[in-house]
Structure 1
Amino acid sequence: MNSKPNILLIYTGGTIGMIKDFETGSLRNFNFDELLNHIPELNLLDCHIETTSFEEPIDSSNMNPNYWVEIAIMIEENYDNFDGFVVLHGSDTMSYTSSALSFMLENLNKPVIFTGSQLPIGDLRTDAKENLITSIQIAALQENGLPVVREVGLYFEYKLYRANRTTKINAEHFEAFASLNYPPLIESGVHLTINYAALIRASVVKKLKVHKKLESHILLIKMFPGLDKETMEYLLDYPNLKGLILETYGSGNVTNRKWFIEAITNIIEKGIPVVNITQCSGGSVAMGYYETSIQLRNIGVISGKDCTTEAALAKLMYLLGKNVEANSFKTNFETQLRGEML
């Protein structure tokens, strides 16, 4: 007889882990060791649940790559003892963190499900309980003794998405996240509906490799009408710059003014990778489709294809941290590594 799956719940901070002090009305973090007292429904799940948390839970606005490494180490140290992981995280930067973890956890063959909530777990109308319960249920899903999900996912409001395909689109609604360029992996209704064709079918024999070096000296510049030469040159003069991401118009378009193209050319000639992603919520970069992107393609700008901003940033940090050679960097970035692009 198969034993129940073991699930590790990792609390990093965020609204989901807060309860209201009914005397003062203020929010405070609750002790996750007492989780079953707050959500007795978890006893009905067909799995064993253990909890761990950051020594000091943080607001996700304070999230940074050092914390990403901390989460990765928690998973690495517990990997052989658990069948799945659920990471509780503030929603504001959840897509950034979960995208980063998808690259940091190479050969992942177990579920790592990120979730959070818009309202605290102790609130009367909270979305926290459903998000947490279903995330744990998904992390425990197995078929023929193997986990159904073998990648980093993000679960919110009845849908499990590939984490590195998500972006937060709404600060007000329970349906806070979207994945406009890739379908949900699982939808929760009366039953869990699994989109098997959308899942990564990771090998279950390769050993997990955790990458802990990330390069954060990168710059993200969003194109806007009025961005001038002086501003651009000032930004690009940063001496420790290791990578640049341009959030461009539409399918990858920028101004074709001579000063702009020269500024980007100078960066590329220094061996600094420049990535082109669209600032549109959905769709893809297609450099050369319009005249205003032909020059970017010709000078060696990297196509971010249909990557989200969050995934592009994480991928750039990851590849720079691996010290990928400059002459092969473009090929590496434009190659799908974790299902983050088509």
Structure 2
Amino acid sequence: MKRKVLLIYTGGTIGMEKDYETGSLRAFDFGSIFQKLPEMKLIECEVDVHPFKKPLDSSDMGPKEWKIIAKLIGKNYDLYDGFVILHGTDTMSYTASALSFMLKNLSKPVILTGSQLPIGDLRTDAKENLLTALYYASLYENDKALIQEVTIYFEYKLLRGNRTLKYSAEYFDAYQSPNYPALGQSGVHLNIEKDFLWRAKSDAPFTVDLHLSQDVLFWRIFPGMHLEHFSEIPQMKVLILQVFGSGTIFNTKKTLDILQLLRDRGTEIVVVSQCVSGGISFGKYSNSNIFTKIGAISGNDMTAESAITKAMHLLENPNYKGNFAENFAKNLCGEVTES
């Protein structure tokens, strides 16, 4: 049986070509992708292309565009066996994380990919990334998709989308998943680590939950920072603090007073680490006890991108029972390591 894959092109370097008159990059008509990449016709799956009307730089991608993609997948869910999203690299981890929360009870692959060089360049990474993403999106066993989650495929590695971060603007190997193993690697064969794959905990049918609140603020703590600025910011519903190491911050009464003031105003405070690897552990050092005192929420080993989009999705979402803190602490779709 020939599988069907929907290829969604949002924009990004992968869909660019050089304008030889000006020397700058411009988007090409992605409807002509089969001419640009004739190898796509050799893949044993049917590929339909749905390009955004106006290709977007990844820095222009946000909640509005995440909803467009989620709706598109929801509308076509029963018509296709898998989905590949072509996306600019700078914010791909945000989009992958957001979609992982919005697309509930997935039983089909949703794979994001892109490239560091345009598809027409001689040394481009675009062709391998796109072709292998299509292979992974059409990979079935006993009539069931092997991949049933939102992932990123880049430079021979298949990674869980809500565990990734972009760590290089220079190298083809641009993404890391520091706190979770790769789901697969491509070489001579396409390898899948079945034990690491996510499976929905519920037998409920696939649904799309478009709820996203933008009343979330992210702030990186740095030595010598004046926390008094927090009291001058208009009230926010969720403040995500990126702190030192396993969860430490300046151990002063002023720090406690400012953070307690925010909590008294009703602001939820989520704590994530500035370290790429590892996570938050309240109580490990005395300078983390302040967060326990004020009732802050541990982000554990989540990436900043995942914590931000998870907070946006959960905040005042009527589709969840319980309060924000209870729901944020749950492992919803493999975004956090369960203790």
Q: TM-score range by the shorter chain?
A: over 0.9
Q: Which residue number in structure 2 is paired with residue 144 of structure 1?
A: 142
Partner of 2:256: 261
Q: Distance in 2 between matches of 1:248 and 1:280?
A: 9
Match of 1:331? 326
Partner of residue 78, structure 1: 76
Which stretch shifts more, 264-273 or 61-70?
264-273
User: For 1:133-282, what aligned pairs fall within 5 Å after superposition?
Assistant: 133-202=131-200, 206-234=204-232, 237-239=233-235, 241-282=236-277
Q: Which runs of 5+ in 2 are unaligned?
A: none
Query: For residue 91 of structure 2, what is the amino acid of its counterpart?
Result: T
User: For 1:203 and 1:222, how far apart are their aligned partners in 2?
Assistant: 33
Deviation at 1:321, TM superposition (A): 4.4
Amino acid at match of 2:75: E
Residue 23 of structure 1: CA displacement? 4.1
Match of 1:100 in 2: 98
Q: How much has 1:328 moved relative to structure 2?
A: 2.8
1:289 aligned to which of 261, 264, 284: 284
Q: Counterpart of 1:313 in structure 2: which amino acid? A: I
TM-score (norm 2): 0.96
Determine whether 1:121 maps to 2:119: yes
User: Aligned partner of 2:118: which letter?
Assistant: P
Q: 1: distance between equivalents of 2:320 and 2:264? A: 14
Tell me, what secondary structure is at the counterpart of 1:126?
coil
1:25 maps to what in 2? 23
Shift of residue 265, structure 1, vs aligned partner? 1.4
Q: Following the alignment from structure 1 to structure 2, what is the Cα–Cα distance between the partners of residues 324 and 247?
A: 28
1:100 touches 1:311 (CA, 8 Å); kept in 2?
yes
> Aligned match of 1:65 in 41, 63, 67?
63
Shift, 1:276, TM fit: 0.4
Q: Structure 1 residues 135, 327: CA separation in 2 closer, same or farther (over 3 Å shift)?
A: closer
- Partner residue of 2:11 out of 10, 13, 19: 13
Q: Do 1:109 and 1:203's aligned partners in 2 also have CA atoms closer than 8 Å?
A: no
* CA drift at 1:28: 1.7
Indicate the residue corresponding to 1:311 in structure 2.
306
1:271, distance to aligned residue in structure 2 (A): 2.6
Distance 2:191 2:114 in 1: 21
Does residue 299 of the first structure (1) align with residue 297 of the second (2)? no
Sequence identity of aligned pairs in percent? 48
Question: Secondary structure of the equivalent of 2:171?
Answer: coil
1:87 corresponds to: 85
Check 1:176–1:264 CA distance in 2 against 1; reply closer, same or farther (3 A cut). same
Partner AA of 1:282 in structure 2: S
Contact 1:131 1:155 in 2 (8 A): yes
For 1:30 and 1:149, how far apart are their aligned partners in 2?
30
- Alignment check: 8 A CA contact 1:109 1:204 kept: no
Once residues 314 and 283 of structure 1 are traced to their aligned partners in structure 2, the CA distance between those partners, rounded to angstroms, is 19
Q: Which moved more, 1:54-63 or 1:158-167?
A: 54-63
Does the aligned pair in 2 maintain the 1:106–1:208 contact within 8 Å?
yes
For these two proteins, the number of residue pairs brought into alignment is 337
User: Which stretches in structure 1 are left out of the alignment for 5+ residues?
Assistant: none
Q: Counterpart amino acid of 1:219?
A: L
Please give the root-mean-square deviation of Cα atoms over the aligned residues, in Å.
1.6
The two structures have a TM-score, normalised by structure 1, of 0.95
Partner of 2:228, secondary structure, is helix
CA contact (8 A) 1:169 1:177 kept: yes
**1:118-158: CA deviations, max 9, x gaps?**
00011111000000000000000000011110000001000
Answer whether contact 1:256 1:295 (CA < 8 A) is retained: yes
CA contact (8 A) 1:121 1:129 kept: yes
